């Protein structure tokens, strides 16, 4: 297990080196720094919502499940740009990502919704009615959809 976390940290370090800094550019407003690095950053700076995105980040915090209505597993990811995202993964429609620990790397595909803290990713599961593109989470080479 420790080897996996070390490998995950190493992969994140490489991603940061190839894809940008964990910290926004000095002297550049945070929204502009995000916008320069990726589509999710642009969406954050432009306050846009409601479109499918993919990405990868490191788990920084595990949150309690949201049990109001459909149950959602919730956790915070930090992207290589430094932007944070809340992942809201519907566990009534898809398997729970387990085990999940701070420091783990998670790839995602889902719908981005703007908020002042960086945004929310939801629809990380299949659509049983087949009216919406399916999303997914990938953790430790396992896909959760």
Minimum mean pLDDT among 31-40, 91-100, 129-138: which range?
A: 31-40
Helix axes 30-37, 39-46, angle to 10 degrees: 150
Q: How far apart are CA 87 and CA 112, in angstroms?
A: 10
Task: Give the pLDDT score at 144.
Answer: 98
DSSP of 66-93:
E-SSS-EEEEEEE-TTS-EEEEEEETTT
Instruction: Please tell me which residue, 28 or 95, carries the higher pLDDT value.
Output: 95
CATH topology of domain 2-144: OB fold (Dihydrolipoamide Acetyltransferase, E2P) (2.40.50)
For the chain, how far is it from start to end, CA to CA, in angstroms? 24
Q: Is the pLDDT of residue 87 over 60?
A: yes
């Amino acid at each position: 297990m420790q080897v996996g976390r070390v490998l995950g940290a190493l992969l994140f370090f490489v991603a940061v080196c190839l894809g940008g800094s964990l910290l926004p550019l000095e002297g550049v407003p945070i929204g502009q720094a995000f916008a320069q690095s990726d589509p999710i950053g642009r969406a954050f700076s432009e306050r846009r919502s409601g479109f499918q995105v993919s990405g990868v980040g490191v788990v920084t915090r595990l949150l309690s499940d949201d049990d109001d209505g459909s149950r959602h597993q919730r956790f915070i990811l930090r992207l290589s740009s430094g932007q944070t995202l809340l992942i809201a993964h519907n566990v009534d429609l898809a398997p729970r990502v387990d085990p999940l620990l701070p420091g783990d790397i998670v790839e995602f595909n889902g719908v981005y919704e703007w908020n002042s803290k960086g945004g929310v990713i939801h629809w990380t599961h299949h659509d049983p009615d087949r009216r919406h593109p399916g999303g997914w989470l990938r953790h430790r080479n396992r896909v959760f959809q």
